[in-house]
């Protein structure tokens, strides 16, 4: 909102100033001073996070080239506009608009949202037109985006992600457009501003602009996909990072490095240029344009919460304001034989942080935004509730196990710390205003419907008067030696436990036909509802795999769905792709202390 107010102020000031110039004799020196002042006023930027998508085939990969009409785009209410976006095919697959896996873009945040701007050439209200023709690797394709403005004036950001239809999201395929919808007004509706008012505005700007540090190159964070990570020790952490050049001169290349304050812990990835330099680029970044890079970190080996600062440099000097603070929470220690990357420090990038008195309070802050929009509600993911030896030959089963004794310790921790266990039925009531959100809460989910869920997990939940969500594979109930039978499932449901769907056969939904997906998603729900005589409102994606078609079916049949993506924030807008915290055999109280 602060950025938007500055933006409107600059627009009005710009129009009135040049209106004044037409009526007055102004020398070129004064014009230059005004433009200099104007350029240092805060600007509205494409400060945005990159939505998470699972790219199934990285052969589909793009590089954004350009758009025919630059942001911010002013359009009158009810009018239409056509914007051409150009993307370079940097993958290995040819794009073909005549194939079943053509390239188009889908609306994001929330995903597959009905856009109020959808135009006449869109394939649906949430899918744009195709990129026409054949576009081979190395060639540039064009996406014609026809937009029709709604009748309500205001500031809009329409977000999109490219996809190969019914197959894979396109790597680096995120883009968006900023639109300013205005009323249809005539010149007679515009009220002129008196010359003395303009003089007062300009003199105020001159008096309040801080020029103390104008010798520093300046920038700001403009794009980040995440900066608060949950990870296993030594796990590689990828994310998208971008900065905007707020200087009056171009950056002739840039470097992203960790500051000296972050050197105590080893985040170095094999991909880094040195122990403290993540990457260097030779690209020229002109004023008010953005960088965009994929950054790779390595989580430290030991349990704990770690912080580091990433700083952008140009010409081996820190760019003031162009930094981001990252938080990494390690919940599971690395394997004992893991070797950290052995790289030397680049001494060209050890600098004291430059002091800067300017206000960057309107910089993009994803973490604070999430705290405003999301509810802090960890969803824990369990599989086998069994005490399995680490020496077993079945390593997969061991890694998916958690002993009954440890589960009981978790429940005792929740009881002691007043942490309430919820189901998705409770979440529904909270969203509808029928129930208050507890100060501290957690959702316990148990995947696959194993017999230990009844014998141990259900018994313990009953003992401590707590609840969980049990995801059932309906065909697995035929194997009662390994999985729950319907009598046990019904008993658990009647006792207040939630029963959710985990499909009919636990298939990879991203690989099967639409008809097969429909059977897995819809028939499993119907079967469970018949057996427990209650509606089923939540779903769990088998192995976390799904595509656009399966997500659409989920939205048509359920209220919530859980993924295997790591995270601990519940978002109403993202309720069909809820993240989770995976529980490992050696997960303990350190994990709970970090979460709560």
User: 341 is written with which tokens?
Assistant: 């990357």
Q: Of the given ranges (212-226, 412-426, 566-580), which has the lowest mean pLDDT?
A: 212-226
pLDDT at 465: 95
In the predicted model, is pLDDT for residue 404 greater than 70? Answer: yes
Q: Of the given ranges (228-242, 345-359, 425-439), which has the lowest mean pLDDT?
A: 345-359
On whether both 379 and 486 belong to a single domain, the answer is: yes
Q: What are phi and psi of 158, to 5 degrees?
A: -100, 120
N residues, the chain: 596
On whether both 224 and 316 belong to a single domain, the answer is: yes
Which tens digit of pLDDT belongs to each residue from 246-281? 887 899 999 999 875 555 557 888 878 888 899 999
On whether both 427 and 503 belong to a single domain, the answer is: yes
In the predicted model, is pLDDT for residue 53 greater than 80? Answer: no
CB 330 within 8 A of CB 299: yes
CA distance 103 to 28: 50
- The pTM of the full predicted model, rounded to 2 decimals, is 0.47
On whether both 344 and 458 belong to a single domain, the answer is: no
In-domain check, residue 481: yes
Number of folded domains in the chain? 3
580 burial type by CB count under 10 A (0-12 exposed, 13-18 middle, 19+ buried): buried
Which tens digit of pLDDT belongs to each residue from 328-378? 888 777 665 445 555 555 555 444 333 333 332 232 232 333 333 345 788
In the predicted model, is pLDDT for residue 158 greater than 50? Answer: yes
On whether both 345 and 263 belong to a single domain, the answer is: yes
pLDDT at 450: 94
In-domain check, residue 35: no
On whether both 341 and 426 belong to a single domain, the answer is: no
On whether both 580 and 511 belong to a single domain, the answer is: yes
Query: Which stretches of 300-392 are assigned E, i.e. beta strand?
Result: 304-314, 317-332, 375-376, 379-382
Which residue has better confidence, 595 or 583?
A: 583
Query: Which stretches of 165-276 are assigned E, i.e. beta strand?
Result: 168-182, 219-224, 228-232, 236-245, 251-258
Domain boundary among 333, 364, 395: 364
Query: Which stretches of 15-167 are assigned E, i.e. beta strand?
Result: 62-67, 73-76, 80-89, 95-96, 103-107, 134-135, 140-148, 154-164
On whether both 345 and 422 belong to a single domain, the answer is: no
In the predicted model, is pLDDT for residue 435 greater than 80? Answer: yes
CA distance 397 to 386: 10
Q: How confident is the model at residue 454 (pLDDT cuts 50, 70, 90)?
A: very high
Domain holding 166, by residue range, is 62-182
CA distance 220 to 312: 9
In-domain check, residue 277: yes
User: 359 is written with which tokens?
Assistant: 């206000």
CA distance 285 to 291: 7
Radius of gyration of the chain (CA): 27
On whether both 356 and 392 belong to a single domain, the answer is: no
Average confidence (pLDDT) over 486-501:
95
On whether both 233 and 355 belong to a single domain, the answer is: yes
In the predicted model, is pLDDT for residue 178 greater than 80? Answer: yes
CB 364 within 8 A of CB 48: yes
Q: How confident is the model at residue 205 (pLDDT cuts 50, 70, 90)?
A: very low
In-domain check, residue 14: no
In-domain check, residue 347: yes
CB 278 within 8 A of CB 295: yes
Cα torsion 500, 503, 509, 515: sign: negative
pLDDT at 513: 92
User: Residue written as tokens 């993540």?
Assistant: 278
pLDDT at 386: 93
Domain boundary among 155, 182, 209: 182
Q: CATH number for the domain including 327?
A: 2.60.40.10
Which of 247, 238, 336, 341 is CA-nearest to residue 288? Answer: 247
pLDDT at 2: 33
Which tens digit of pLDDT belongs to each residue from 524-568? 999 999 999 989 999 999 989 999 899 999 999 999 999 988 777
């Amino acid at each position: 909102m602060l950025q938007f107010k500055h933006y409107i102020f600059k627009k009005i000031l710009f129009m009135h100033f040049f209106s004044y110039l037409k009526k007055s004799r102004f020398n070129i020196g004064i014009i230059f001073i005004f433009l200099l002042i104007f350029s240092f006023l805060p600007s509205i930027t494409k400060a945005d996070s990159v939505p998470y998508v699972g790219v199934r085939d990285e052969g589909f990969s793009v590089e954004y080239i350009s758009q025919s009409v630059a942001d911010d785009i002013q359009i009158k209410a009810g009018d239409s506009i056509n914007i051409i976006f150009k993307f370079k095919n940097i993958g290995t697959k040819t794009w073909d608009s005549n194939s079943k896996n053509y390239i188009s873009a889908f609306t994001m945040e929330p995903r597959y949202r009905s856009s109020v701007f959808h135009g006449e050439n869109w394939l649906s209200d949430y899918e744009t037109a195709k990129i026409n023709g054949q576009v081979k690797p190395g060639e540039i394709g064009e996406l014609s985006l026809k937009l029709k403005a709604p009748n309500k004036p205001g500031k809009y950001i329409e977000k999109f992600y490219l996809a190969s239809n019914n197959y894979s999201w396109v790597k680096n395929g995120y883009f968006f457009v900023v639109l300013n919808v205005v009323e249809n007004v005539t010149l007679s509706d515009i009220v002129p501003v008196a010359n003395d008012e303009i003089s007062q505005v300009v003199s105020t700007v001159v008096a309040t602009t801080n020029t103390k540090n104008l010798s520093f190159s300046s920038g700001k964070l403009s794009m980040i996909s995440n900066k608060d990570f949950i990870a296993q020790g030594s796990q590689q952490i990828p994310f998208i990072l971008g900065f905007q050049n707020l200087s009056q001169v171009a950056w002739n290349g840039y470097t992203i490095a960790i500051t000296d304050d972050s050197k105590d812990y080893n985040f170095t990835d094999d991909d880094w240029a040195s122990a403290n330099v993540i990457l260097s680029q030779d690209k020229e970044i002109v004023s008010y344009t953005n960088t965009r890079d994929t950054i790779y970190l390595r989580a430290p080996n030991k349990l704990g919460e770690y912080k580091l600062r990433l700083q952008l440099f140009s010409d081996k000097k820190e760019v003031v304001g162009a930094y981001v603070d990252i938080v990494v929470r390690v919940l599971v220690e690395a394997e004992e034989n893991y070797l950290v990357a052995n790289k030397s420090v680049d001494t060209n990038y050890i600098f004291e942080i430059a002091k800067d008195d300017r206000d960057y309070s309107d910089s993009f802050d994803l973490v604070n935004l999430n705290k405003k929009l999301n509810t802090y509600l960890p969803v824990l993911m369990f599989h086998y509730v069994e005490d399995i030896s680490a020496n077993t030959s079945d390593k997969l089963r061991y890694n998916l196990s958690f002993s009954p004794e440890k589960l009981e310790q978790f429940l005792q921790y929740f009881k002691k710390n007043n942490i309430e266990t919820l189901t998705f039925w409770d979440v529904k009531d909270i969203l509808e205003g029928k129930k208050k959100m507890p100060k501290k809460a957690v959702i316990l989910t148990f995947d696959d419907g194993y017999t230990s869920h009844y014998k141990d997990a259900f018994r313990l939940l009953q003992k401590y008067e707590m609840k969980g969500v049990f995801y059932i594979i309906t065909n697995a109930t035929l194997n009662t030696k390994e999985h729950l039978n319907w009598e046990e499932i019904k008993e658990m449901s009647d006792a207040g436990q939630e029963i959710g769907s985990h499909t009919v056969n636990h298939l990879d939904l991203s690989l099967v036909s639409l008809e097969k997906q429909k059977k897995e998603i819809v028939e499993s729900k119907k079967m469970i509802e018949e057996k427990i005589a209650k509606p089923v409102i939540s779903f769990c994606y088998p192995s976390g795999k799904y595509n656009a078609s399966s997500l659409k079916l989920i939205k048509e049949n359920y209220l919530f769905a859980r993924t295997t993506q790591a995270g601990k924030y519940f978002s109403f807008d993202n309720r069909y792709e809820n993240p989770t915290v995976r529980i490992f055999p050696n997960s303990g109280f350190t994990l709970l202390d970090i979460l709560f």
